[in-house]
Amino acid sequence: MKPSGIPLAMRDAFLAELHRRMAVRSDLFFLSADFGSPRLDAIREDYPDRFVNVGIAEQNLINISLGLALEGFCVFAFAIAPFLSMRCFEQIRVDLAIHAPQRPINVNLLGVGAGMSYDVSGPTHHCLEDLSILRTLPGLEIHSPADAPTAVALVDGALARAVPKYFRMDGKPLPSLAEQVAPEEVHRGFRVLRQGHWLILATGFMVHRALAVASGFAPGTVGVVDLFGIRPFDEAALIAQLRQARGILTLEEGFIGAGGLDALIGQLLRQAGTHIPLDCMGVVGGYLFDQGGREVLHAQAGLALSDISARLSAVIRRWDPAASLEHPHEP
C-alpha cells in the first residue's frame, strides 16, 4: 500500500461522509460539545433540526445522546478526545456500557485529539489514557484509525451496529496510507501495510511512525500492522498474522504498562499459547510539560524515530544474534 502523500484530517473526512449520509438517513442526529469545524458547519446549516451544540458540557453530551438513542436515533457525539473519554467516564459507563446489554443504543463518540496531536496545548489536552480507560468497559467498541480513508471506511459500521462506540481521531491532517481500506480489512479490524520477519504493531498516529522506522531497515526485515479495530477485531486472523513474525514490537502514543495496546496484544498472545517474543514501546516518564511540537514531545517521551529504531535493532539482536540488519539508516 502506498500513501497518497496528501495530508487529510480524518475528522473532516468522517464528517463529510456523515453529512452525505444524513441526506438519506433521517434518523441521524449530531451533537457537539461546543467543538466545531468547517465540515460541521455544513451539517449544522443543512440539518438544524438534527444538530445540537450542548456547550462545554461533555457529561451532558452523553446523557442527551442516550436519550436520543432510546428514541431510535443513531447519534454522533463530537468533542475533544481527552474530555470526551475521561471527563465523561461515569456517564459512558452508566448511560452506555450498562444500558447497552438491555436496549439497542447506537451512540457514536467522536473524540478528536488522540495522543499528542494537540501538542502545544499541554498535558490537559494530551490524550494518553483513553485506550487504557475505555477498554475496561464491556460492550464498548473502540476504533483507532490512522488515516482519513480508514475513518471513512468505519462509517458503515457506525450506522449499522446499535451499540456504543468510541472513535479516537488525530487532531492533525495525516497522509493517507492507502486510497481506501478493503472491506475484508475493515471486517478484520487490522491491515498489513508492510511485510517483514520482525513486526511493528501500532495504532493511530504511531502507524506512521512505524512505517518511517521500518523503511530504515533492509527490505523484508521489518513489517508493519495497523490495528485500527481495538475492539472488536478478528482475533484468529491477527494471531495467524502474528505467528508469522519472529518477534513483535507494539508501538502506542499512550502510557506504557497501563492497560493499552501493549496489554491487549500481550493478553492475546498468552491466550493463544504462543511464545513469540514481544516488546512494547509507549510514553514513559509521566506527563509532558515541555513546549514544542510532537517531535519535541516524542523525544522527551522516548518515542523519537531514533529511539524506536535503536530499540527495535536491540531487541532483534537479542532475539536473534545472527540477524543481519545491514546497519539500518536513520529514518
Q: pLDDT tens, 111-152?
A: 999 999 999 999 999 999 999 999 999 999 999 999 999 999
Distance in angstroms (rounded) separating the CA atoms of residues 82 and 185: 28
Distance in angstroms (rounded) separating the CA atoms of residues 80 and 242: 33
Distance in angstroms (rounded) separating the CA atoms of residues 123 and 113: 12
Distance in angstroms (rounded) separating the CA atoms of residues 300 and 289: 9
Domain boundaries, the chain: 9-175, 183-319
Give 320's pLDDT tier (boundaries 50, 70, 90): confident
Give 330's pLDDT tier (boundaries 50, 70, 90): low
Residue 327 pLDDT greater than 70, yes or no: no
CATH domain 183-319 topology: Rossmann fold (3.40.50)
Q: Where does residue 114 rank: exposed (0-12), middle (13-18), buried (19+ CB within 10 A)?
A: buried
Give 1's pLDDT tier (boundaries 50, 70, 90): very low
Distance in angstroms (rounded) separating the CA atoms of residues 121 and 136: 27
Number of C-beta neighbours around residue 298 at 10 A: 24
What is the DSSP track for 284-302? -SS-----S-HHHHHHHHT
| pLDDT tens for each residue of 281-303 | 999 989 999 888 999 999 999 99
pLDDT over 70 percentage in the chain: 96
| pLDDT tens for each residue of 142-183 | 999 999 999 999 999 999 999 999 999 999 999 999 888 999
Give 269's pLDDT tier (boundaries 50, 70, 90): very high
The pLDDT of 4-14, averaged and rounded, is 86
Residue 4 pLDDT greater than 80, yes or no: no
Matching residue, cell 496489554: 263
Query: Which grid cell is 198?
Result: 520482525
Q: What is the pLDDT of residue 39?
A: 87
The CATH code of domain 9-175 reads 3.40.50.970
Spatial contact of 119 and 147, defined as CB atoms under 8 Å apart? no
Residues 6+ apart with CB under 8 A from 58: 33, 79, 83, 84, 87, 88
Distance in angstroms (rounded) separating the CA atoms of residues 328 and 331: 8
Give 2's pLDDT tier (boundaries 50, 70, 90): very low
